[in-house]
Amino acid sequence: MARSKEERKKRIVEILSMLHEEGTFEEAKRLFNEEFDGVDVTEITSAEKSLIQGGLKAEEIQKLCNIHASVFKGSINDIHKSDEAYGQPGHPIHTLKLENQVLQSLITDEIDDLMEKIKKGDWQKKEQLVAAIKDLRQIDKHYARKETLIFSYMEKYGITAPPQVMWGVDDEIRAQIKELLTYVENPKAAFNPLLEKWEAVKHEIEEMIFKEEEIMTPMTLDVFSLKDWENIAEDSYDIGFAYISEPPMWVAGPNDYAKEKEREPQRQEAIQQAKETTEEIAKGLNETETLEEVYDWQNVDSKNTVVLPTGILQLDQLLAIFEVLPVDLTFVDHNDRVRFFSEGKNRVFPRTKSIIGREVVNCHPPKSMHMVEKILEDFHAGSNDTADFWIDINERKIYIRYFALKNQEEQYLGCLEVTQDITDIQKIRGQNRLLEGYTKD
């Protein structure tokens, strides 16, 4: 006799609860395989929601993500066969899965094979293994696109906790790969510790592949709009791709938009369910912040607002940014007249409003006017785009750079002068990582 939806959920919760009460993974997997032919992602999230409501501790969240994904592996129903857009080349999900296929091949067909040969004593393969592990580091671009783009849109819809969990695992994988590479490059590397490190990172990578494709992907396909996917596809080129050549630019077709219009009620329902689920997870993580306000910033129209291709700023925010930049900026237009300068607290060279509108050549002493003229002449002609100089002033090293500014049609817009005191920067040694905290000056 078929179970009802609530009965299925109750039994899934019971099996998962057993895991969190010192039950074995093997027993949970056996029970699940015996009692279920498959499970939808919504059933997983609903069951996890019940566990969280039942008092699951915050530190269990990441463990929950790993173990539950393993229990359900190979059993999650594909409920998106009617959505054809994500199967088109260039769609972010198509690209993600293609990268994962090549990644899996690198793991199984190359690194595993090399490890097996080294196990048999063929240490001449070590150089190839080093190269393969270096190739593995391309995974950073794969994760960076996910974290920067897909996670951003998940958060836009109030799905905040799952990205936090996955990002934490991504960082662990990055660290494990770095540690593995450091060890294998050591002339004294021994096989057993090497194998142990490799098996650990391999397991985490393969688990992440599963979570990306069987948990994150269905959720995002349910929630994201076609316009969201188009934006993600376009912005992906700024980050780059891992293991594959650059895919074609993807845009949704008329049929895709027609299907989206038909399923819009279901999408809105999925958005609400995703929010409810992540709110419960957030409570388990003791998060207190409210969900981020969602608005179409690209269509904001206000005299005090500057809308840019990459974001939106109020005028007072823009001015504050210019004031704290560790560089002095001066803009000279295409007619070689000064039109703007930033007002930092410690400018290297003083500027007054009287220079606005002046020919920039006349703002320099006679002995350097010919050089300024030459730089501008080259910028106008397009024979050069940059010019760098450095000088000493009162025992401080000053770095002065000029950049030609152009629009998308390669038309000359003007020149940006960037001046910076780099004395203290030249003294920097070692590392001061964010995770190690910071000290106030």
pLDDT 10s per residue in the chain (441 long)? 567 777 877 887 787 777 767 667 677 777 777 777 666 655 666 666 666 566 655 445 455 555 556 666 655 554 433 346 888 889 999 999 999 999 999 999 899 999 999 999 999 999 999 999 999 999 999 999 999 999 988 888 888 777 878 888 999 999 999 999 999 999 999 999 999 999 999 999 999 999 999 888 988 999 999 999 999 999 999 899 999 889 999 999 898 899 889 889 988 988 888 777 666 555 544 443 333 444 455 566 666 788 887 788 888 888 888 888 999 999 999 999 999 988 877 788 877 777 888 888 877 777 778 888 999 999 999 999 999 999 998 889 999 999 999 998 999 999 999 999 999 999 998 888 776 665 655
> Is 439 part of a structural domain of the chain?
no
* 92 and 61 together in one domain: no
pLDDT of residue 199: 96
For residues 243, 245, 246, 247, the Cα torsion angle rounded to the nearest 10 degrees is -100
**Structure-block tokens of residue 183:** 């060890």
* 378 and 240 together in one domain: no
> Is 306 part of a structural domain of the chain?
no
Do 142 and 103 meet the contact criterion of CB atoms below 8 Å apart?
A: yes
3-state helix, strand, coil split of the chain in percent (to 5) is 60, 10, 30
Dist. CA 14–CA 9, nearest whole Å = 9
The DSSP code sequence of 105-154 is HIIIIIIHHHHHHHHTT-GGGHHHHHHHHHHHTTHHHHHHHIIIIIHHHH
Among 231, 257, 284, give the residue marking a domain's end.
284
* 331 and 277 together in one domain: no
Among 22, 44, 72, give the residue marking a domain's end.
72
Q: Which amino acid does the sequence have at 116? A: E
The dihedral built from the CA positions of residue 212, 213, 214 and 216, taken in this order, carries a sign that is positive
> Is 312 part of a structural domain of the chain?
no
Among 14, 37, 72, give the residue marking a domain's end.
72
pLDDT of residue 57: 54
Do 198 and 207 meet the contact criterion of CB atoms below 8 Å apart?
A: no
Dist. CA 408–CA 133, nearest whole Å = 39
> Is 177 part of a structural domain of the chain?
yes
How far, in whole angstroms, is CA 377 from its chain's centroid?
Answer: 41
> Is 206 part of a structural domain of the chain?
yes
Q: Which domain holds residue 58?
A: 5-72
Dist. CA 240–CA 245, nearest whole Å = 9
Count of residues for the chain? 441
Domain count within the chain = 3
